[in-house]
Amino acid sequence: MSEPEEKSLLIYRVKFVALILVFLLPFIGGWLAFYVFDYRPGSKNYGELVQPVRAMTFPQLTAQNGRLLKPEFWNKWSFVILAKTECEKLCRDNLYYLRQMRIALGRDMDRVQNVLVLGQAVNDDLSQFLVEYPKLTVVGKAENSLFDAFKVAGIKPGEAPVLYLIDPAGNLMMTYSAVNEPSSILSDMRRLLRISQIG
């Protein structure tokens, strides 16, 4: 092949690739915006961001089943429910929704854990309820200092029906009021797990 023919073929190939890119760029840009940069018109987190994000330090805790919660326990995305007294209907509803949400995450479910922290021992009624929640970590007889660590403006830890989200680096980063839109929390978690390389 002569040199002019090679140049002509090269120019043809460049034009062909450029033509393909003209058609593909809008799709590539849309994919990046939606899945990588998570731009969606009108989209936002359902939860309230804790600003600034707060690094949590936990005392040595023992779960209801006797398991010692070592620092590495918190190396997952952790939803925490606090109840200074009893875990009543709203608390139990939240536990149900969190369990269903975790199951709905499919292959990512093991990156998320649910934790119930109580200010008193687990009574017989709650113990019977929790039989249906074998994956739930329950901490009973927690001290006030642990509840105080979750203080966020406008919220009394353990008294208001709030969900707290801790990231795998041990940071309290988001809160949710009483669950009335579990699908929205699920959307938040899917987005966080998709863009996060931790946990």
Domain limits, the chain? 1-43, 48-195
| Least confident residue range of 7-11, 32-36, 183-187 | 32-36
Does residue 160 contact residue 70 with C-beta atoms inside 8 Å? no
Model pTM?
A: 0.75
Q: Is the peptide bond preceding residue 59 cis, with omega within 30 degrees of 0?
A: no
% of the chain beyond a pLDDT of 90 = 45
pLDDT band at 166 (very low <50, low <70, confident <90, very high): very high
CA distance 117 to 56: 15
CA 90, 127, 66: angle at the middle one, nearest 5? Answer: 115
**Angstrom distance (rounded) from CA 133 to CA 74:** 19
Q: Which residues pair with 82 in a beta bridge?
A: 117
Domain range 48-195, CATH class: alpha beta
With left for phi above 0 and alpha for psi between -120 and 50, is residue 136 left, alpha or beta? beta
Structure tokens at 155: 């919220």
pLDDT of residue 11: 74
For residue 98, what pLDDT is reported?
94
